[in-house]
């Protein structure tokens, strides 16, 4: 009988012997791989922490003892061991389990997270709450080595070291974040693991022990088990010791003979302790081990080959934006690009190939990326930061304080704007229009298609101050492309269709949906004007004023938060113009966190399809008719 099928909670896990745990880990991998092959997800990182996860739940008394997963996209094994095995096939699907930890889903999920660097700070909060309440449970935080480049992680370590309360931080070191890790901290960890002195000492000691008759091999085996703690004596983690932590490791993270006794002893220690565990991303599935970058967050794939089962017919918006960037950089040597450990995800690999000395990967450090860009811009460079919308949130103060107050020409390529599907709540790009629009000096634009996107790239890189171009996740529309990017008139939208009954004022990905809705309205004898706003800021007030004077009502459409977004900007303009008798409505995302699910399904749910726009337009027209009668 399968070991995994017997486990409904960590209590069942504890009934297994240590010798049975490797077989359980194999079953866990065989459960994870086919599910993710079918629906996509974070595969490589999850395969790398199977043994570590089993060991923690084997030794800890969860959920009384608390495990905090930094980022939490590596918690699939954790979910399988905590009563969610039967629902695992629903992971990352609409109405199913989250691909991240979610407190609403299970008492074993202690903290919701989808961004790297949050774990240690949350764990320190858990520790201090425990102390305030007079409790005695364990708090363990699992943090990836890539997250050590996050300033938030270092801030949390600093406080934990200062407070000297019981806390175990497990550094899951696989030499990767999403891309290969970069920077001084990564180099430090790599030296710790591969140091020449340690490697030579280990080899010579093994040879000496093995040559001793009769007792040599048993002693050698004992030394092998003890060597993980010995490393801490030979190569102490000075960085962590200086921060106030007791450092243990580095130790191999896939061998229960090492990890169980070491973790058991570490859990008995007082004060803050950092256990350095070295793991292999993608372990147990050869394609994921060979290509951990693609399998970090992969689409559905064929298990036998590891190849994607579906290939996009058209390129992504990310690819079009970066192709335009390469063209522009080829004629302007001031253009440089910055990424926060997202070179492949944002499409920057093509820029890296063309201009390797003009790409800066700063690691998972979005705040630093933005202020670093400000420094470059202050010295005459034209820095570009391709970044997911949800990750730009992390650098809000730097956008305001370091870029915009100085009116520096930094370009933000905001990728994954709007709904992003299965990654769900923490990854939807819902708030960028709202949190950027009110910043003085900021210009914000969103293209209706890929051709307009390349022109907006040119517009950004010829503007005198900070700019943001925001585009969605997914494939482009397939419209004809102009040969070269050309700058658009700043702050000017375009009237795509004239009309006398209703104005559909759309921006970005919603523009073509608005055109489709207008065609349906025309079939019913309703004359609909359609505006492609192009710019969220500065708004084309002249065009909006002109069209609003010709129609009975006005509907704004955006795939972003209604509160403070593009529609709010239009309403503010109309109010300033004294237009008070025009029925209006803003169509966009509501005031709650949007759940996971396919993009088109979510767009349908929130009325952001052609049908949804059509229905909202009909309702608004009916309201306008009633108001006219009452008047």
pLDDT digits (tens, 9 = 90+) for 479-533: 999 999 999 999 999 999 999 999 999 999 999 999 999 999 999 999 999 999 9
Region 363-371: mean pLDDT is 95
Q: Token pair for residue 463?
A: 């503007």
pLDDT on residue 582: 95
Give the pLDDT score at 196: 44
pTM of the model: 0.88
Establish whether domains 4-195+235-296 and 494-630 are of one fold. yes
> What CA–CA distance (Å, rounded) separates 172 from 276?
7
Percent of the chain with pLDDT over 90: 82
Angle at 525 between CA 521 and CA 528, to 5 degrees: 50
Q: 151-163 and 119-133 are packed helices; what angle lies between their axes, rounded to 10 degrees?
A: 30
β-pair type (167-173, 272-278): parallel
C-alpha–C-alpha distance, residues 262 and 257, integer Å: 9
Q: Is the predicted pLDDT of residue 386 greater than 70, yes or no? A: yes
Cα 265 to Cα 222, 256, 461: the distances in Å are 16, 14, 56
Q: What is the mean pLDDT of the chain?
A: 91
- Determine how β-strand 411-415 pairs with β-strand 443-445: unpaired
Q: Which of 301, 224, 241 is nearest to 276 (CA)?
A: 241
Q: What is the pLDDT of residues 305-345, one digit of tens each?
A: 999 998 888 999 999 999 999 999 999 999 999 999 999 99
Express each pLDDT in 101-116 by its tens digit.
Answer: 999 999 999 999 888 8
Three-state SS string over 83-145 comes to CCCCCHHHCCCCCCCCCCCCCCCCCCCCCCCCCCCCHHHHHHHHHHHHHHHCCCCCEEEEEEH
How far is CA 617 from each of CA 12, 501, 519, 552, rounded to the nearest angstrom? 56, 10, 12, 11
The pLDDT of residue 626:
81
Task: Quote the CA–CA distance of 282 and 216 in Å, as a whole number.
Answer: 35
At the fourth CATH level, the homologous superfamily of domain 4-195+235-296 is Thiamin diphosphate (ThDP)-binding fold, Pyr/PP domains (3.40.50.970)
Instruction: Report how far residue 181's alpha carbon sits from residue 149's, in angstroms, rounded to the nearest whole number.
Output: 9
Over range 137-165, report the average pLDDT: 93
Q: In what order do the strands lie in the sheet with 584-589?
A: 494-497, 528-532, 502-506, 553-561, 584-589
Q: Specify the residue for token string 């199913």.
A: 96
Q: Indicate if the pLDDT at residue 194 is higher than 50.
A: no
Domain locations in the chain as residue ranges: 4-195+235-296, 317-470, 494-630
Contact between 246 and 169 under an 8 Å Cβ cutoff? The reply is no
Residues acting as catalytic residues: 281, 366, 394
pLDDT at 407: 98
Q: Please write the tens of the pLDDT for every residue from 429-483.
A: 999 999 999 999 999 999 999 999 999 999 999 999 999 999 999 999 999 999 9
Pairing of strands 535-537, 528-532: unpaired
Task: Characterize the bridge pairing of strands 494-497 and 528-532.
Answer: antiparallel
Q: What is the pLDDT of residues 196-221, one digit of tens each?
A: 444 454 555 556 556 666 655 655 55
Residue 78 has pLDDT above 80, yes or no: yes
What string of H, E and C letters represents the secondary structure of 62-95?
A: CCCCEEEECCCCCCHHHHHHCCCCCCHHHCCCCC
DSSP assignment of 382-435: EEEEEEEHHHHGGGHHHIIIIIGGGT---EEEEES-B--GGGGGGT-B-SHHHH
pLDDT at residue 96 greater than cutoff 80: yes
Q: What is the pLDDT of residue 59?
A: 98
| pLDDT reading at 119 higher than 60 | yes
How does residue 67 score in pLDDT terms, banded at 50, 70 and 90?
very high
- How far is 274 from 141, CA to CA, in rounded Å? 9
Fold that domain 494-630 belongs to in CATH:
Rossmann fold (3.40.50)
Decide which of 3.40.1350.10, 3.30.230.10, 3.40.50.970, 3.50.50.60 is the CATH code for 317-470: 3.40.50.970
- Looking at residue 541, its pLDDT comes to 96
Predicted pLDDT of residue 158: 94
CA 144/CA 165 separation, integer angstroms: 22
């Amino acid at each position: 009988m399968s070991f995994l099928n017997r486990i409904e909670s960590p209590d069942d896990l504890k009934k297994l012997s240590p010798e049975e745990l490797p077989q359980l880990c194999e079953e866990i991998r065989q459960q994870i791989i086919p599910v993710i092959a079918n629906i996509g997800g974070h595969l490589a990182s999850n395969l790398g922490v199977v043994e570590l996860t089993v060991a923690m739940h084997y030794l800890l008394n969860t959920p009384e003892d608390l495990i905090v997963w930094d980022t939490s996209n590596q918690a699939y094994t954790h979910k399988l061991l905590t009563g969610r095995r039967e629902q695992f096939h629903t992971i990352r699907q609409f109405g199913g389990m989250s691909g991240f930890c979610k407190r609403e889903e299970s008492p074993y999920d202690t903290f919701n997270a989808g961004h790297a660097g949050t774990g240690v700070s949350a764990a320190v909060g858990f520790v201090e709450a425990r102390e305030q309440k007079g409790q005695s449970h364990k708090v363990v935080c699992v943090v990836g080595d890539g997250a050590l480049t996050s300033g938030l992680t270092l801030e949390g370590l600093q406080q934990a070291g200062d407070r000297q309360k019981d806390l175990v931080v497990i550094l899951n070191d696989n030499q990767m974040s999403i891309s290969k890790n970069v920077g001084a901290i990564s180099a430090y960890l790599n030296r710790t693991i591969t140091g020449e002195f340690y490697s030579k000492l280990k080899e010579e000691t093994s040879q000496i022990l093995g040559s001793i008759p009769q007792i040599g091999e048993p002693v050698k085996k004992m030394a092998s088990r003890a060597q993980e703690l010995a490393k801490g004596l030979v190569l102490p983690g000075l960085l962590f010791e200086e921060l106030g932590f007791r450092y243990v490791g580095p130790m191999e993270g896939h061998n229960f003979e090492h990890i169980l006794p070491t973790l058991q002893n570490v859990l008995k220690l007082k004060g803050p302790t950092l256990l350095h565990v070295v793991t292999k991303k993608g372990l147990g599935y050869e394609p994921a081990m060979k290509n951990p970058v693609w399998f970090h967050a992969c689409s559905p794939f064929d298990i036998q080959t590891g190849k994607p089962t579906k290939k996009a017919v058209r390129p992504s918006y990310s690819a079009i934006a970066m192709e335009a960037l390469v063209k522009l950089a080829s004629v302007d040597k001031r253009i440089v690009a910055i990424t926060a450990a997202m070179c492949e995800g944002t499409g920057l690999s093509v820029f890296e190939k063309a201009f390797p000395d003009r790409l800066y990967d700063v690691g998972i450090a979005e705040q630093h990326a933005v202020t670093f860009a400000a420094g470059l811009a202050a010295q005459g460079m034209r820095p570009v930061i391709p970044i997911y919308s949800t990750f730009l949130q992390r650098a809000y103060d730097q956008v305001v304080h370091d870029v915009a107050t100085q009116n520096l020409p930094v370009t933000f390529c905001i990728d994954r704007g709007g709904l992003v599907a299965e990654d769900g709540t923490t990854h939807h790009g819902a708030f960028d229009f709202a949190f950027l629009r009110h910043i003085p000096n900021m210009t914000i634009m969103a293209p209706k298609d890929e051709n307009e996107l390349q022109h907006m790239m040119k517009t950004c890189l010829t503007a005198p101050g900070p700019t943001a171009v925001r585009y969605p996740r997914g494939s482009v529309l397939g419209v004809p492309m102009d040969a070269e990017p050309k700058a658009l008139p700043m702050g000017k939208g375009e009237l795509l269709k004239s009309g006398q009954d209703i104005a559909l004022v759309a921006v970005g990905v919603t523009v073509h949906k608005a055109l489709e809705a207008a065609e349906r309205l025309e079939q019913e004898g309703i004359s609909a004007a359609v505006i492609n706003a192009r710019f969220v800021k500065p708004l084309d007030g002249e065009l909006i004023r002109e069209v609003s004077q010709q129609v009975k009502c006005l509907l704004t459409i955006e795939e972003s938060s209604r509160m403070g977004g593009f529609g709010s900007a239009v309403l503010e303009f109309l109010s300033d113009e004294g237009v008070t008798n025009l029925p209006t409505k803003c169509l966009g995302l509501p005031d709650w966190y949007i759940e996971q699910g396919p993009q088109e399904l979510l767009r349908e749910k929130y009325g952001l399809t052609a049908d949804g726009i059509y229905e909202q337009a009909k309702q608004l027209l009916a309201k306008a008719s009633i108001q006219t009668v009452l008047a």
